[in-house]
A and B are shown apart, each in its own frame.
Chain A
Amino acid sequence: MAEIQLIDVSIRDGNQSLWGAMGFTTAQILEIAPVMDRVGFRALDFSSSTRMGIAVRSHKENPWEVIRLTRAAMPNTMLQFIGTGLRFISWELQHPDFLQLVYDRLVASGMSRFVVLDPMHDAEALLESARMLKKAGAAEVIAALTYTISDIHDDVFYANFAARVSSSPHIDRAYVKDPSGLLTPDRARTLIPAVRAQLGEKPLELHSHCTIGLSALSYLAAAELGVSALHVACGPLANGSSLPNAQRVAANLCELGHTVSIDDRALAIVADYFARLADAENLPAGTPQDYDPSFLRHQVAGGVMTTTRRQLAELGLEDKFPDVMREVVQVRAELGFPIMVTPFPQIVCTQALYNIIGDERYGNVSDQLIRYVLGKFGRPTVPVDANIKDRILSRPRAKELAGELPPMPPEELRKKFKPGISDDEFLLRATMPAEEVDAMLAAGPAQRHYNPDLQPVLKLLRELQKRPAASDIVVEKPGFRLELHSSSEREPVNV
C-alpha cells in the first residue's frame, strides 16, 4: 500500500523524554552508530541546543566533536537538529548573524536535517530560520506544525499554516509534531488530509508521543492518509512519554500491508543495546501508557512532567504534583495558550509551581515569564490575560528586562573572548559559563568505546582504585566470576 520511512528519536527526544535528558555520551553513541546506520532509518533526531549544552556541562565533551564523529560513523543516515530559531544553548535570544554562524557550524560538522519550530506558529519567523538554514547548506529543512488542542488550533488553522510554510522554497517537508501525544486517530483523519492538501508535493511526517497511548493507532491512521514517515524510538527509549516503539510500528505497518524498508535484525540489535545500556546505567524503560483524558487538559509533555515532579520531590512537596498540574492549565490559558513545547512547558510549569508553593499567584515570576509577556519570544497566538500582564509588567524587574539591550552581533560578542579561538569554541563561550567550557576543554578528547555489559566490572574497578582492599577479591554471580589478585611482594598501598 504505502512505503513508510522511519525517523528514530532515541538519541535525543527519547532520551530527553524518559531519562531526564541526561544525554548519551560520545562513546555510548559511537558504539551503536554503525549498526544504526544500517537499519535504514531516514534520519536520526540527534541534537538540539539543550543537548549540546548537556554534552559540555554533564559530560565535559565537545558537542561539535560528537556530531563530527557520529557523522563519520554513520554517513548514510541524516542527522537531525531541532531548534526554535531564537536561541542557542543559553536562554538568551541571539542576534540573527550569530544564529547564522550556529547553523553554518552545524552543517559543517555534519548535521544535514533541521526542524524549524515556532511555538507560536509565527510563519514569518519560521521561514526566516529556514532561509538561514538553507544558506548554511542544510540538506533538508522541515517545518513543524505543533499540535495542540484549543479553540483556535483547528484544522483550518493548521491548513493555513501548512499553506504558508510550504509556499517557501526553503521548506522541504513538514511534520505534525505532537509533543504531548494528544492526537487521536479520529482527529488525524481530518487534520492530516487538511494539511496535506496544502503541502502539495512536499511530504508530511508525523511525530506523536505515547503519553496517553494514542500514537499506536494514530500512526496507523496516518499511514493510510499519505504520511511519508513516522517518528519512532528503540527499545527502552520508546513508549512512556516518548515515541512509539520502532519494532512494533514497523510490524504493525507491515501487518496492514505497508512497506517499511528496514533491516529488522539490525533494529533488534539497536533495541537490545539500549536495553543493556538502560540496565547498566539503572535507567527506566518506557512502558505503554494508559489513556488519561486529563492530559488533554494540561498537555504537559513527558520530560517536563518528570522534571517538575523531581523538583517538587527535592523540595519535599511531591504530594502537590496534582495541584501543580491543575494550575498549569490555568496558567497556560492566562498566558495565551502557548504551544507546550520547549521553552514554554518549562515557563508554564515553573510558574504553576511558584503559584502553588508561593503565598499568592504570580507573587514570584521567572525572568523567562517576564520576557514572554514582554513579547520577546514572539507574539502569543492569543493575547495574554490583561490583568496578569499588568501585574507582571509593573514589577521593577520587568522594566529592567524591557530595557535589555538587543542581542549583540557576533563580531561584537567575539571581543569579549580571547582572539583566535575557533568558531566552534566561540559559540560555546558566548552561551555557556567559562568554567564549563574550560572544564570541557581540559577533559581532552572523549572516550569512544562503551560496552554496557562491562559497566559493573568497570565500576567495581573504579571503586577499588579509590579504596584499598584485601589482596584477593572474588566476585561470583550466576554465569560470571571475577577474581583480582595482588602478589604479596608488592608494596602495600598506603591507606
Chain B
Amino acid sequence: MTIRRILIANRGEIAVRVIRTCQRLGVEGVLAASEADLDSMAARLADETICIGPPNSAQSYLNIQAIVAAAAASKAGAIHPGYGFLSENPKLAEACEREGLIFIGPTVEQLYAVGDKLKARAHAAAAGLSGVPGGKVVTLAEAQRLAGEVGWPILIKAVGGGGGRGMKLVQNSTQLALAMEMAAAEAQASFGDPRLYLERYIPHGRHIEVQVLGDGENVIHLGTRDCSIQRRYQKLVEEAPAPNLNDTLRDAMHGAAVAFARHLRFQGLGTVEMLVDCDRETFYFLEMNARIQVEHPVTEAICGIDLVEEQIAIAEGRKLRWKQEQIVFSGHAIECRINAEDWLHEFRPSPGRVTRAVFPVGQGIRVDTHMQAGATVPPFYDSLMGKLIVHGADRQEALQKVRRALARLEIAGVATNLPMHVELMDNDEFARGAVNTGFLERFLENGNRAVV
C-alpha cells in the first residue's frame, strides 16, 4: 500500500520539515492548520491547506474530530501528527483506524503501552531494563515510604505526562504533601490524568536517548543523542552521538533500547530516553517517545537517513531497508533550539512579527525553521522558532562550526534565546563535553541571568 497524500496535523517548523520530505518523495502534503497558521511557511509550501479551527489548540491541533474530518475532506490517506499535540494520543490513532486512515506512527497498543509511564516502566522491566528506582504512589503514606526506600531527593511525575511536563522536585519529606497535591492538580489539568509516580532524583545525570526504528518485526537503533542541556525539563541543545560515553555503556544502552522496542514489536520511529547516572556509571530507563522528536536532525546528520521518509515507509507496511550492520555513523552533530523568548527576563515568551530572519548557510549547516521576514510567532503555541544543526567530522569541528554559525544568525522583531546559545557554545564546560542535567542551571546562575 502506498500513501499518496498526507494530512500534516501539526504546525511550525515540523510541518515544514514533513512537507519537505513529502515533496522529495512525490507525496502530496495537505496542511491542517488553525486560523493562526493559514499563511504560515508550511501553508505556503504545502500542496493544499485546510483550516481545522480557531487558533486555540484545544479547538484545532488537539481536536481529533476536526483533524479526522480534514483528512476526509482533503482525501488524505494518512495523517502525520508531528510531535507534541496529538502525536502520541491513542485516540487519534484509533480514530484513524475507524476512518480507514493510516496513522503515521506506532500502533494503538504501542501508544497505550508507552503513553502510560507506569505501564512503560513495567514493559521496560519485562525487557530487562531498570527504571530509575521508584514507583507508583497514590497516598502520601505510600509516597513517604517509597521515597524513604529510594532515597531523597525525589521527583514526582505524572503517569499520563511526558516531555518533561508536570514534574516536581521534592527535597525532603516535609515538602512532599504539598508537592503531591500540586502535581496531581497540574497533571489533571494538563493531561486529564491525576495519577502520580515518583523516582529517585539523580543530581549528576545525563539525559541520553537512543533513536530506534522498527517495522513490527525488526528493530534497529540509530545511535544516541545527549539532551542534558535542559531548562525546566525542556531541551535546548542536543547532540549526536552522546559525547564522552564509554563504549561499554554506549553499547549497553543501544542494546537496551533495541530490546525494549523489540519487546513491544515496535512499529515506527521511537526514542528510548534514559538517564545515565554518572556517579554510578549506570543507566536507567526513563520513558519512550513514540513519535518523531524535535531533535531528530542530529541523528539524521550522523547517519544520513531521512527519518520522516522512514516513518512513511513503515506506515506503508514496508520492512526496514537496512540491517543494523549497514548503519554507519559519521561525525558529530549539535543542535541549538532557537526560541522566541527573552532569556534576560525569565525566558518570557516573545510572540510577535519577525521583521528579519538571517540564517547561516554552508557545508554541514542545516536550519529547520518556519521563520522568514514577515512571519509571525503567534501567542497560542510554543516558542520554538527554528533549529540550527551543524555537523562536523568530530565534536571539535562541530563546535567551531556552531560558534561561527550562531554569529551569522539574526532574528529581528521578537526576542530570542540566541545570545544564550552564543554563550553556551563558548562555555568551557560545554566544550569539554558530557555535561549533566544540572549544567544549564549552573550556567544560568553563573551568568547572573534570571534563573530557571
| Chain A residues within an 8 Å CB radius of B318 | 75-76
| Chain B residues within an 8 Å CB radius of A266 | 4, 26
Contact yes or no, A40 B2, CB < 8 A:
yes
| Chain A residues within an 8 Å CB radius of B24 | 34-35
B182 CB within 8 Å of chain A = no
Give the number of residues in B that approach A within 8 Å (Cβ atoms): 10
Contact yes or no, B26 A38, CB < 8 A:
yes
Complex: A34 Cα to B3 Cα, angstroms:
13
Contact yes or no, A34 B2, CB < 8 A:
no
Complex: A40 Cα to B309 Cα, angstroms:
17
Complex: A72 Cα to B318 Cα, angstroms:
14
Complex: A269 Cα to B24 Cα, angstroms:
10
A37 smallest CB distance to B (angstroms): 8
Complex: A30 Cα to B309 Cα, angstroms:
15
A96 smallest CB distance to B (angstroms): 31
Known interface pairs A263-B2, A265-B28; A34-B309 also in contact (CB < 8 Å): yes
Complex: A265 Cα to B28 Cα, angstroms:
9
Chain A, 1-44, contact with B by CB distance < 8 Å: what is the 0/1 string? 00000000000000000000000000000000011001010000
Contact yes or no, B321 A265, CB < 8 A:
no
- Sort chain A's interface into a size bin: 10 to 19
Contact yes or no, B321 A35, CB < 8 A:
no
| Chain B residues within an 8 Å CB radius of A34 | 24-26, 309
Instruction: Identify which of residues 54-76 in chain A touch chain B, using a CB-to-CB cut-off of 8 Å.
Output: 72, 75-76
Contact yes or no, B26 A35, CB < 8 A:
yes
Classify the secondary structure of A's interface with B.
helix
Known interface pairs A72-B321, A75-B321, A76-B318; A269-B26 also in contact (CB < 8 Å): yes
Complex: A72 Cα to B27 Cα, angstroms:
19
B391 smallest CB distance to A (angstroms): 16
Complex: A265 Cα to B26 Cα, angstroms:
8
Complex: A76 Cα to B317 Cα, angstroms:
12
Q: Which of B4, B26, B309 has the most CB of A within 10 A?
A: B26
| Chain B residues within an 8 Å CB radius of A76 | 318
Complex: A75 Cα to B25 Cα, angstroms:
13
| Chain B residues within an 8 Å CB radius of A75 | 318, 321
A68 smallest CB distance to B (angstroms): 11
Instruction: Identify which of residues 1-45 in chain B touch chain A, using a CB-to-CB cut-off of 8 Å.
Output: 2, 4, 24-28
Contact yes or no, A38 B321, CB < 8 A:
no
| Chain A residues within an 8 Å CB radius of B25 | 34-35, 38
For this complex, 18 residue pairs linking A to B, each with C-beta atoms less than 8 Å apart, are A34-B25, A35-B24, A35-B25, A35-B26, A38-B25, A38-B26, A38-B27, A40-B2, A72-B321, A75-B318, A75-B321, A76-B318, A263-B2, A263-B26, A265-B4, A265-B28, A266-B26, A269-B26
Q: A34-B25, A38-B25, A40-B2 are in contact. List 15 more A-B contacts (CB 8 A).
A: A34-B24, A34-B26, A35-B25, A38-B2, A38-B26, A38-B27, A72-B321, A76-B318, A263-B4, A263-B26, A265-B4, A265-B26, A266-B26, A269-B26, A270-B26
Residue numbers of B with Cβ under 8 A of A are: 2, 4, 24-28, 309, 318, 321
Q: Closest 9 interchain pairs by CB?
A: A35-B26, A269-B26, A266-B26, A75-B321, A34-B25, A38-B2, A263-B4, A38-B26, A263-B2
